[in-house]
A and B are shown apart, each in its own frame.
Chain A
Amino acid sequence: MANPAAAPAADAPHLEGLPRRYTSVREEFDALLRGVGLVDRSPMGRLRFDGADAQDLLDRLSTNDLSAMTPGDAVHTVLTSNKGRIIDLLLVLKHEDHLAVVTGPRRVEPVTEHVDFFNFGEDVEITDRSEDTAMLGLSGPGTRELLAAAVGPDVWPGEPGSFAEASIAGTRALLIRTDFLRQPGVDLMVNAVHQDTLRQRLLDAGATAVGAEALEAARILSGVPASGSELSEDRNPHEAGLADYLSFTKGCYVGQEVVVRLHTYDKVQRYLSTLAWEPADAVGAGVSLFADGKRVGEVTSAAVDVGSGAGIGLGYVRKAHADPGALLAAGSPEGTAQVRVTEPPVTR
């Protein structure tokens, strides 16, 4: 039976343009777990920042310490409002003479507008490179071996937080170690005209093309938040599980006072939680969660666990009810289904 409630949202920005599946969901999901999956990551926005003040301005507007970045560094940072809310999660790549910035899908405009608002005549020029570049992601335990076979043994970008340039199929590519599904993972950024050649080479080397259903299941099980579903201006970085991208020693940035106060005084109200339920079609994104007759959270993403067939999801749950094992009622205080909070894949 089809279960539309738990199907990946067709209009989810990070799944834009992806077919639901290429061959079989199980095969694609297994590739991500045990082999190498090839994911089209081009919906992510790509910006180029030029100018002497670019690094300093981004450092003043976001949560992580960008001041000490050197060429080859790739750092995640959260662009925050002055209320400490999430504008977007960014990946900043430091080149010799400019920065490359990867934004969330459909987030180029709000990110650019936000940065421009705070630029008072500083030397910063932003160019949207989303159309003329493409991004392909490899994820899974065999990623390094596959890259070696497809491109050559010396192209591995290194530890998470670094990137390298390589020549692949006659074109220049950036290889960024992002581990985007909390598995060994690399994003390859190339000129858009070369993406089909690169994609074919990676498939020929043994990568399995992954569609929306398998990708969404893997993302949810890994607890990776997506822009629009889990990351928005309604949320702060603590509750969205982005604590690894906060610096508490860098000094002031926009939103810092709120972000630090939430941490210092233990004021985080809710946590992004991994959830599970049965049957899979009982719960979908947007469903409210209840405990003791009160609304304590909501489901933000839902999919089917390809292995077990159970429903899995991400959602925000109030702290008192977000411990692993907690049972919540879905849909109404009486509950049309029971949702269980599962062990979080990341520390809070």
Chain B
Amino acid sequence: MTSRVRPKRPIPNTAVQLTESAVEHVREFADVEGKPDANLRVAVKGGGCSGLTYVLELVEEEAREDEKVVEEHGLKVFIPKRSFVFLAGTTLEYSGGLNGKGFVFHNPNARTTCGCGTSFSV
């Protein structure tokens, strides 16, 4: 009998990446909210069905001392260091259309995710 073992996926030592489409939609929402020059904070907080839930926030001020800053397609992205360990290697994309889910996180650290995809456990 043979069994197929899926190799463990190494957690990339990279920050959060955003697809071009995701950045475009962040800009669009920033315009709607009257904050055209806003940056994006991507974080994790306790809650959601699976224990940890994603937070996206438009911020007009500079990054805090405890935040990593990356630039994706011209958008500054702030990631609190306490959230970074749960987000490293995550890609944020935007799923549009009538049946689209909006912003979708592809997080290699997530062991389980809830049905709606907004929360996860590690």
Contact = CB atoms under 8 A, between A and B. Distances in A.
Interface stretch (A131-139, A252-260, A287-295): A252-260
Interface in B41-74: 43-53, 66
Contacts of B52: 118
Interface string B72-100: 00000000101100000000000000000
Contacts of A118: 45-47, 51-52
B119 interface: yes
Residue with the highest number of chain B CB atoms closer than 10 Å, among A119, A122, A254: A254
B48 A254 contact: yes
Interface residues of B, number: 21
Secondary structure call for the A interface: loop
B115 A257 contact: yes
A252 B118 contact: yes
Interface string A49-76: 0000000010011000000000000000
Given A120-B82, A257-B114, A252 B46 contact: no
Interface residues of A, number: 19
A267 B121 CA distance: 23
A252 B82 contact: no
A121 interface: yes
Contact of B50 (A82, A115, A120): A82
A254 B49 contact: yes
B82 A121 contact: yes
Interface string A121-144: 110000000000000000000000
A58 B118 CA distance: 19
A257 B112 CA distance: 12
A118 B51 CA distance: 7
Contact of B46 (A81, A119, A257, A258): A119
A121 B49 contact: no
Q: Name the 9 nearest CB pairs between A and B, nearest first.
A: A118-B46, A60-B47, A257-B49, A82-B51, A256-B49, A252-B48, A120-B82, A254-B51, A82-B121
Interface in B16-64: 43-53
